Amino acid sequence: MRGFTASCLDSATSAGATYADVRVTDTRTERLSMRNGTPEGIETASSLGFGVRVVSDGAWGFASSSDLSEGSASTVARQAVAIARASALVCARGVRLADVPAFEDAWSGACDIDPFSVSLEEKLAVLEAADAAMRAQKGVSLALSSMSFLSSAKTFASTEGSFIEQRWVESSAGIVAYAIEGADVFPRSYPNSLGGGCYQAGWEAILGLDLAVHAPRIAEEAVALLEAADCPSGPATLVIGGSQLALQVHESVGHPTELDRVLGDEAAFAGTSFLRLEDLGTLRYGSDLVSVTADATIPGSLGSFGYDDEGVPAQRDFLIRDGLLSGFLTSRESAPAIGRASNGCMRADGWSKTPLVRMTTISLEPGDAGTLDDLIADTDEGLYFDTNSSWSIDDRRLNFQFACEAAWEIKGGKLGRMMRRPNYTGITPVFWGSCDAICSPSEWTVWGLDNCGKGEPMQTAHVAHGAAPARFRGVEAGVGR
Amino acid sequence: MTLSPDEARELAVRAVEIATSAGAGHAEAVVIASEHSLTRFADSRIHQNVSTLDAVVSVRAIDGQRSGVSSTNRTSDESALAECCASAIDAARRAPADPFFPGLPQPRTVTSPDRSVDSTRAFGPRERAQAVAAIIEQSVTRGAKAAGGIAVTDQTVAVANSRGVAVSMPVTTYRATVLSMAPDGGSGWASDTGRDVRALAPAALGDRAATLAARSADPVTLGAGVYPVVLAPEAVASVMEMLGWFGSSAKAVDEGRSFMSGHAGERLMSPSITLVDDALSEHACGLTFDFEGMPKQRVAVVDHGVVGDAVTDSYWAARTGRPNTGHALPAPNAFGPLPMDLALEPGDSTPEAMIASLDRGIYVTRFHYVNIEDPIRAVLTGMTRDGTFLIEGGRLTRPVRNLRFTQSAVEALAAVGGVSAERQLVGEETATLSPYLLLEGFAFTGQTT
């Protein structure tokens, strides 16, 4: 591989690049899905290719190909330089990159049991058991279950002398039971909606989910929603479960703190951010209880790696500390705008895409409110919201609206009746400012998310969010009733 | 350069031969070969400029009523192709049977108009940079900043199966977008898409966005409430895509998860609403066959306000007793059949007449981040952006701070005050042909700060 990457870099510099890096990525995936006891898809895929990113004439160019021949290395590298030169025609300022040391290293993610060594029959048996357990509940008309696996090997080399090899495995699985009757459709998911539980781990992560054990509960809850009352409208005290809070962190902290968005690079597509550079260290993002970190070093998290796609080592950094904005997610190009070194957030969706500033594991740090039961016991009146079903936020990441699969009334410190169609809306800093309790570390869970979309062409990043259930006061719930 | 139609078809046929020779009872291969280039700009400069070349062959092996799929992008490597086929066969042999699987479809006649254009194919990085410069200039000369992109795709798709299907088709598309951001906070948007990039007028596109941005300065706040709205084509496309993508699939209808479920033949919307999927339309940019090689049919999802037909693929056609409308996605497909060439039929109004007819209402250029909260009532939520205005006394008057809506699309489309004759193609590969719409009531439930 060293010969191939060297050939790419030599060709780029010969063509006039002042900086170049190359990534070669070999990815293998497997996906299985089941619907009401019938297999809906069994699929394997492999993708191999490389991308060359260059700076020439002070501007960026990127070209990629699935042809890994020696001739292709040179062709693609020269194409990247030609693209950069075209960029320079409309590029008023030259690209400047924050310094990073050169690394020669290898990194691999944890994986106890290689999921690709587990037989198809064993995997299907797990899905079939969960499927049967969901459909055993009268009133469940649709049972979906799925699992997917990814194995990736990536080599990064740059003209600054880095040569880094990384390998990791990801395993995901989830189940959904639907109760559908007339104009009512109610899903309940485990362990999460949006693809289930996603981990940087092997088959052991799937076994640990015990899908069939949890299937009867979600099936029963889905059916119970048919008879539940609608979530009431108006300001309410909300206790938000960990998985929903993870998505809340994603949309209203993760994306707005991406420094490329703050600088306007994503303005036309995903939007910008309500944050400005001068807000760093001064803007009150939330209550004193709210601290949010970006950490690419958490073992088993979908947001972990050894080095990002610019060769910057994985690290942990504060985005919000005690309620104050204290950092951004950065790259080598954007970090100088805040006078800092890159905190290593540049990642690309495979070999064919150029890296963007992406989330790592962006987490709401745990508090001291005890367990979820303790928090509910401490809440006189409110609503407990669990598991996301819909999400939307404006182009500056201020006005959001989330819907959840289910809610429960809280009265006198106890969970009461179930409520259906719960949703809530708010303005980002007002919402985080209303946080008055966060559960303790024992309730803190890292939730993987394998569908974070950003950029053009659309890139899908695998990220994660640590969160424990937390309480928010005066949140507008039951919107649009 | 990507594969030619002949090369792609030969590769698909070759993959089918390898799979059947290796023991597959039947086999299907889909080849998607593309060269995609995109020049992105922001803060009035090019900040990303990319090109990628790839070809993927996906093989579906059939063993009775069992199937397995495997894909690889090492298409010129015979051993990789063989390995891919073996993997699909292995999965098929070990998979549980699907008693509803109807088998691979028999060949049918496909109309394959040439939808590739050399001028689009040849629109390289320098040409894109020149077009970007012309777009940006319109903002910069007015003190605004511009962001957006120009994308060019040259794609060939081929499908073959062991029953004799062997089709291929090249398609070229371009898409140009521009967001103009004025220093006082106003923003404006314009986009253009099509097959032949010679139709792109970059300066005019840049002017549209910059004019809208200048007009959007100093927005006012507006209380939540139900207002009449005039939706521009981009906003209309967002609503139609939600209805089409999540509601018109025979799978969603059969499962009871669609606004169409249980309402076949019932009038749910205004008679002025006819939503079709029509890949054969002169406006359409995409393929005229689906990913099983079946010809795409024109389907009226909503016909003069009456719930029409769902789109199908071979599986959901057989399962629901409907005709196969040719809307298969690549196998395996847990999503179900999908309309990719939606069009809302035109009316006889104009946007000017719609605005003039309202004493008070809201004009929406486009929506942002639209999502579904209730699939049966098609309750959508999302935000407005890049050109939201108050209509007062029959005129666009003041810009409005971006609003959140939470609204049943079905209910909103039941009271339509006008559909324009003018339509715009919005999107790229799955482009939607959209007119302006006047809706008599649309619920805005919040506002950004």
What one-character-per-residue DSSP string does B128-177 give? HHHHHHHHHHHHHTTT-EEEEEEEEEEEEEEEEETTS-EEEEEEEEEEEE
In angstroms, the CA A240 to CA B415 distance is 37
| Cβ partners under 8 Å of residue A169, min gap 6 | A109, A111, A114, A115, A149, A150, A151, A152, A200, A201, A202
In angstroms, the CA A295 to CA B181 distance is 34
The alpha carbon of B442 is separated from its chain's Cα centroid by a whole number of angstroms, namely 24
Contact residues, A window 385-404, toward B, CB-based 8 Å cutoff? 389-396, 398-399, 401, 403
Give the one of B46, B69, B130 whose C-beta lies nearest to A91's C-beta. B46
> Is pLDDT of A91 > 80?
no
Q: What are phi and psi of B137, to 5 degrees?
A: -55, -35
Write down the mean pLDDT value for chain B: 96
The CA-based angle B92-B95-B97, given to 5 degrees, is 100
> Is pLDDT of B55 > 90?
yes
**Is residue B38 a contact partner of residue B48, using CB atoms and an 8 Å limit?**
yes
pLDDT for position A448? 98
Is A132 near chain B, with CB under 8 Å? Answer: no
Q: Which residues of A touch B447 (CB under 8 A)?
A: 399
A128 exposure class (CB count in 10 Å sphere: 0-12, 13-18, 19+): middle
Query: Which among B435, B269, B406 has a CA at the least distance from the CA of B344?
Result: B435
In the three-class reduction of DSSP (H, G, I as helix; E, B as strand; rest coil), residue A127 is classed as helix
pLDDT for position B428? 73
Contact residues, A window 271-290, toward B, CB-based 8 Å cutoff? 271, 274
Give the one of A62, A63, A90 whose C-beta lies nearest to B132's C-beta. A90
Query: Which contiguous run of DSSP H or E holds residue B403?
Result: strand B403-408
Q: Confidence band (pLDDT; 50, 70, 90) for B224?
A: very high
Per the document, the length of chain B is 449
The model's pLDDT over A65-84, given as tens digits with 9 standing for 90+, comes to: 999 998 999 999 999 999 99
Name the token pair of B167. 């089709």
Is B335 near chain A, with CB under 8 Å? Answer: no
> Is pLDDT of B184 > 90?
no
The angle that helices B202-215 and B125-140 make with each other, rounded to 10 degrees, is 30
Looking up tokens 């040719």 gives B326
pLDDT for position B376? 95
Give the one of B100, B124, B145 whose C-beta lies nearest to A38's C-beta. B100
**Is residue B144 a contact partner of residue B180, using CB atoms and an 8 Å limit?**
yes
* % chain B with pLDDT above 90: 96
Pairing between β-strand B395-399 and β-strand B403-408 as defined by DSSP bridges: unpaired
pLDDT for position B147? 98
Is B395 near chain A, with CB under 8 Å? Answer: no
Side chain identity at B226, as an amino acid letter?
A: V
In angstroms, the CA A286 to CA A276 distance is 16
Query: How many Cβ atoms are within 10 Å of A467's Cβ, its own excluded?
Result: 29
Give CA separation, B347 vs A213, B230, B272, B419, in Å.
55, 14, 7, 5
The model's pLDDT over B64-122, given as tens digits with 9 standing for 90+, comes to: 999 999 999 999 999 999 999 999 999 999 999 999 999 999 999 998 778 999 999 99
pLDDT for position A480? 86
Least Cα separation, residue B125 to chain A (angstroms)? 6
Q: Which residues of A touch B193 (CB under 8 A)?
A: none
CA nearest B367 in A: which residue?
A394
- CB burial of A180-205 (b: ≥16 within 10 Å; e: otherwise) equals beeebbbbbbbbbbbbbbbbbbbbeb
pLDDT for position B26? 98
pLDDT for position A1? 87
Cβ of B404 within 8 Å of Cβ of A401? The answer is yes
Is B448 near chain A, with CB under 8 Å? Answer: yes
pLDDT for position B237? 98
In angstroms, the CA B133 to CA B146 distance is 10
Give CA separation, A204 vs A114, A132, A208, A421, in Å.
9, 22, 6, 34
In angstroms, the CA B194 to CA B424 distance is 10
Mutate to test the interface with A, among B43, B369, B372, B379 (most CBs of A within 10 A): B369
Least Cα separation, residue B192 to chain A (angstroms)? 14
In the three-class reduction of DSSP (H, G, I as helix; E, B as strand; rest coil), residue B184 is classed as coil
> Is pLDDT of A380 > 90?
yes
Contact residues, B window 344-363, toward A, CB-based 8 Å cutoff? none
Is A326 near chain B, with CB under 8 Å? Answer: no
Write down the mean pLDDT value for chain A: 97
The model's pLDDT over A7-36, given as tens digits with 9 standing for 90+, comes to: 999 999 999 999 999 999 999 999 999 999
The alpha carbon of B178 is separated from its chain's Cα centroid by a whole number of angstroms, namely 19
Cβ of B76 within 8 Å of Cβ of A67? The answer is yes
Least Cα separation, residue B251 to chain A (angstroms)? 12
Is A93 near chain B, with CB under 8 Å? Answer: yes
pLDDT for position A454? 96
The model's pLDDT over A265-301, given as tens digits with 9 standing for 90+, comes to: 999 999 999 999 999 999 999 999 999 999 999 999 9
Give CA separation, A249 vs A175, A243, A294, B296, in Å.
23, 10, 11, 42
Q: Which residues of B touch A354 (CB under 8 A)?
A: 48, 50
Stretch B419-424: mean pLDDT: 98
Stretch B183-209: mean pLDDT: 96
Contact residues, A window 343-372, toward B, CB-based 8 Å cutoff? 352-354
Pairing between β-strand A362-364 and β-strand A381-393 as defined by DSSP bridges: unpaired
| Cβ partners under 8 Å of residue A21, min gap 6 | A9, A52, A53, A156, A157, A158, A159, A162, A310, A311
pLDDT for position B4? 95
Q: Confidence band (pLDDT; 50, 70, 90) for B7?
A: very high
Q: Confidence band (pLDDT; 50, 70, 90) for B430?
A: confident
Strands (DSSP E) along B266-335, which ranges?
A: 275-277, 299-303, 306-307
Least Cα separation, residue A299 to chain B (angstroms)? 30
**Is residue A462 a contact partner of residue A303, using CB atoms and an 8 Å limit?**
yes
Contact residues, B window 140-159, toward A, CB-based 8 Å cutoff? 145, 147-149, 151
In angstroms, the CA B293 to CA B330 distance is 10
Is B70 near chain A, with CB under 8 Å? Answer: yes
pLDDT for position B446? 95
Name the token pair of A153. 């090997």
Is A267 near chain B, with CB under 8 Å? Answer: yes
A348 exposure class (CB count in 10 Å sphere: 0-12, 13-18, 19+): buried
Q: Which residues of B touch A63 (CB under 8 A)?
A: 50-52
pLDDT for position B201? 98
Q: Confidence band (pLDDT; 50, 70, 90) for B444?
A: very high
**How big is the A-B interface in CB pairs under 8 Å?**
265
| Cβ partners under 8 Å of residue B409, min gap 6 | B239, B242, B243, B259, B378, B379, B380
Pairing between β-strand A104-108 and β-strand B145-161 as defined by DSSP bridges: unpaired
Q: Which residues of A touch B54 (CB under 8 A)?
A: 49, 64-66, 352
Least Cα separation, residue B50 to chain A (angstroms)? 5
Contact residues, B window 263-302, toward A, CB-based 8 Å cutoff? none
- Model ipTM? 0.96
In angstroms, the CA B423 to CA B402 distance is 24
pLDDT for position A459? 96
The model's pLDDT over B336-373, given as tens digits with 9 standing for 90+, comes to: 999 999 999 999 999 999 999 999 999 999 999 999 99
**Is residue B55 a contact partner of residue A66, using CB atoms and an 8 Å limit?**
yes
A336 preceded by a cis bond (ω within 30 of 0): no
Is B95 near chain A, with CB under 8 Å? Answer: yes
Mutate to test the interface with B, among A43, A47, A274, A476 (most CBs of B within 10 A): A43
Cβ of A390 within 8 Å of Cβ of B373? The answer is yes
Give CA separation, A264 vs A258, A276, B44, in Å.
10, 10, 10
In angstroms, the CA B348 to CA A80 distance is 49
Give the one of B51, B91, B373 whose C-beta lies nearest to A423's C-beta. B373
Side chain identity at A478, as an amino acid letter?
A: G
Least Cα separation, residue B209 to chain A (angstroms)? 11
pLDDT for position A53? 98
Least Cα separation, residue A440 to chain B (angstroms)? 31
Is A127 near chain B, with CB under 8 Å? Answer: no
> Is pLDDT of A46 > 90?
yes
Give the one of A63, A265, A393 whose C-beta lies nearest to B42's C-beta. A265
Is A423 near chain B, with CB under 8 Å? Answer: yes
Is B67 near chain A, with CB under 8 Å? Answer: yes
The model's pLDDT over B173-182, given as tens digits with 9 standing for 90+, comes to: 999 999 999 9
Stretch B425-440: mean pLDDT: 92
Give the one of A40, A82, A91 whose C-beta lies nearest to B332's C-beta. A40
